Amino acid sequence: MLYALLVTLCCAALIAVPSVLLWRVRRQARGRSVPPGTEDIPDLLGVAFLLGDAERVVDTVITAMHADGRVTVRDGRVAVGDATAHNAVERALLKHCGAGWGDSLRTVVQELRRDPLVHAVGRSLEKLDMLLPRGLQAHWERVARAQTAGLVVGAVAGVVLLFLAAFRPMGVVLLALALAGVLARVAYGPHKSCDPYTDFGRNVVRLINTDASWSRKSVGEHPHGAAGVVAVHGRVPDKKLRAQLIEASRTRTSHRAGATSRTGRSRRSSATTSSSSSSTSSASCGGAVLDTGGGSDTSGSGHSGHSGGHSCSSGHSCSSGSSCGGGGCS
């Protein structure tokens, strides 16, 4: 009897402990419990990262600086005409243009996408409860696997005890716990591995895509102009710039052929194609639909991948005070 009681208690713990952990992680993944308002929509680069990861941020910054003439893109090369940066990511772009204030578009985009200042935008979204904290998805999946193992062990032990008349009540208890564990798994199980959004973040995405100002597809009507269209819809309005971004992305893709996706949050980055990387509409594994053609699609669910430090991409002005007379490397 004592042995059967110990088995029952151990199996019950194998089911109950992971189930409680699942519930705790699921609460963390919800983010804020209040519905988002327009005041919760992040800044332009935050919107770009939320809807399309680092790739979208880079396209947005290049489009913004190209639209006001601070940089020009011609024949696959970036040349700086005015070395003034309005935020940290623009300052990073100028840095990657090099001492000669110019470099190949492929190199600038590739380096900028890896820049910590770009990925810091994503971490600022974590602090706003819009994206899952880094590593939480992997932890969530580990807890779910542990719970599954506990459910199997508990259910098997329950069935065995059920057929032993003296221990039948213990078998019934274990089977009841196993059933409760299955219900907990259904209710609190992890997101799909490609979805890094908290529930609050997912609601913010819906709000952006339905907001009268942010959802505008016309450059003249969008409050942030061409950069805003890229940030929300993933579509570079300037056809010549779009074509060069696509070509630069194709070059990068050929170098990355056969590469495996990174772990954790980075899976979004490796699975997502930016507005400049495909001439047809493509969807990331999280559902962020990115358009490079005539139409613009909205972003539904999530994407994943960033590293870096504290965000300083929003609200920071960092004019370098210097200017460049349009020089670039050829």
Based on the fold, state whether residues 88 and 53 are members of the same structural domain.
Answer: yes
Based on the fold, state whether residues 17 and 138 are members of the same structural domain.
Answer: yes
Based on the fold, state whether residues 8 and 87 are members of the same structural domain.
Answer: no
329 falls within a domain? no
Based on the fold, state whether residues 51 and 92 are members of the same structural domain.
Answer: yes
Tokens found for residue 96: 């990657």
Q: Is residue 68 within 8 Å of 284, Cβ to Cβ? A: no
Place of tokens 């032990």: 157
**Domain extent for 253:** 38-129+196-319
Task: State pTM to two decimals.
Answer: 0.70
121 falls within a domain? yes
330 falls within a domain? no
Based on the fold, state whether residues 119 and 268 are members of the same structural domain.
Answer: yes
Based on the fold, state whether residues 98 and 228 are members of the same structural domain.
Answer: yes
Counting the structural domains of the chain, the total is 2
Based on the fold, state whether residues 260 and 280 are members of the same structural domain.
Answer: yes
155 falls within a domain? yes
Based on the fold, state whether residues 43 and 117 are members of the same structural domain.
Answer: yes
Based on the fold, state whether residues 224 and 312 are members of the same structural domain.
Answer: yes
C-alpha 63/C-alpha 109 separation (Å) is: 12
Q: What is the DSSP pairing of strand 102-104 with strand 282-283?
A: unpaired
C-alpha 211/C-alpha 208 separation (Å) is: 5
Domain-terminating residue out of 188, 210, 230: 188
What's the confidence (pLDDT) of residue 124? Answer: 95
C-alpha 129/C-alpha 188 separation (Å) is: 18
Based on the fold, state whether residues 306 and 236 are members of the same structural domain.
Answer: yes
The tens digit of pLDDT for each residue in 248-300 reads 877 554 444 444 333 334 434 333 344 444 333 333 443 333 343 444 343 33
Name the DSSP class of 197: B
Based on the fold, state whether residues 105 and 159 are members of the same structural domain.
Answer: no
**What phi-psi label fits residue 116: left (phi over 0), alpha (psi between -120 and 50 degrees) or beta?**
alpha
Mean pLDDT by 10 residues, the chain (330 residues): 85 94 91 90 96 93 95 92 94 91 90 94 94 87 94 94 88 94 93 80 95 93 95 93 86 46 38 38 37 40 40 38 40
160 falls within a domain? yes
324 falls within a domain? no
